[in-house]
Amino acid sequence: MTGVTSEQLSALAAEFGTPLYVYDAAMMRERYRALAEACGDYPHDIHYAIKANATLAIVRLMRACGARADANSGGEIDVALRAGFAPHEIVFTGVGKSPDELERAITLGVKAINAESPGEVERIAAIAARHRDTVARVAIRINPDVDAESHPHISTGLRTNKFGMSIDAARALAVEIERYPSLRLVGLHVHIGSQITKTAPLTRAVTSLAALAKELIAAGVELEHLDIGGGLGIPYQAGQTVVSPREYIDAILPPVRETGLTLVLEPGRWIVGPAGALLTRVVDLKAQPPDPTGEPRWFVIADAGMTDLLRPALYSAWHDIAAVTPRPGPDRLCDIVGPVCETTDTLGSGRRLPPVEVGDLLIVRDAGAYGSVMASNYNRRTVPAEVLVDGAAAGAAGAATLIRRRQTIDDLLQWDV
């Protein structure tokens, strides 16, 4: 976050309580614009990956930027529609689409259903055939057996992963699709993983996809687009090497250009991740046994935990953590942990913080993607409020708007019978 000052963060925490998600709208616009400009004049569509952050105001902001939508569930399709996207601006992705989800996507007439298997294609064809004069637009999701070289839990392009199908299977399926009057094959899709920080895996995957596309075009298949998915990584740690938008497009565009097809991208994390932060207050401090060097070590217990930000517990993900208003004094070796009844409820281990006291405000940075959207109610904890700061300029605070109120226990218990 670049447009929100420490003073404003403190004021927001005082007004809305903690834990609290805060987003920088100007930064999201800037990052969307950088990615769009990197595409140049080549025909392209940027479909915001709603799974990264599905808060309605954020999805609306992406639409206002010019994005289209990438939905991974029926619920995300409904979020896209409520945010103002038309069905033809939505691609529907995801493993294990239910019959009801497929029925909705088909009858709405979404831009493409990214089909995961021959069986799913058969189900799409059967549903479409039940609706007279309906032709479902499908794209085949390819699994190119390419290692994204990120965390194994967010890799999706290896043959051992559950996503997509082999190129040989896709080639055969493309022939079958042409025989269904209720189907139209409009594209090919690939997504090899998330938090990708090298271009080579992307180039390998896209080259395979483009080669198949050229083969199908030569055989008379009238494809419209190549969907390259998302996965562009961000620097969670200082000094971490990542791929710029220009490097990203330079790595994937040459093979796509050879096909003449529209380029479709599905970014999420790269746009919203650095534009969000989680604010949390220190609720307790406990001394630990010294570390092996004899240095004192502390537990800093915060009011945010794995129910608010799951990534550190789920994949040992790193988020920079700092005091919003640092106190003077030498840094201390700390484990920043949450209040949840799990040992894995740790936001950061072995970190260095200035002296902190109960009541101090901490900021967990780069939490705009896969933060609030993965929150849970374990321990009957309520989901944090979310605030969008807009109009921030250098040295000036932008207007802050509550875009999602904090849950209450009454919200949770309304479903209990």
CA neighbor of 361 nearest in space, from 54, 12, 86: 12
Active site positions, annotated: 341
Q: Give one word for 372, left, alpha or beta, with left for phi > 0 and alpha for psi -120 to 50.
A: alpha
- Three-class HEC string of the chain: CCCCCHHHHHHHHHHHCCCEEEEEHHHHHHHHHHHHHHCCCCCEEEEEEHHHCCCHHHHHHHHHHCCEEEECCHHHHHHHHHCCCCHHHEEECCCCCCHHHHHHHHHHCCCEEEECCHHHHHHHHHHHHHCCCCCEEEEEEECCCCCCCCCHHHECCCCCCCCCECHHHHHHHHHHHCCCCCEEEEEEEECCECCECCCHHHHHHHHHHHHHHHHHHHCCCCCCEEECCCCECCCCCCCCCCCCHHHHHHHHHHHHHHHCCEEEECCCHHHHCCCEEEEEEEEEEEEECCCCCCCCEEEEEECCCCCCCCHHHHHCCCCCEEECCCCCCCCEEEEEECCCCCCCCEEEEEEEECCCCCCCEEEECCCCCCCHHHCCCHHHCCCCEEEEEECCECCECCEEEEEECCCCHHHHHCCCC
Contact 52, 370 (CB under 8 A): yes
Q: Which residues contact 186 (CB under 8 A, 6 or more apart)?
A: 111, 112, 137, 138, 139, 223, 224, 225
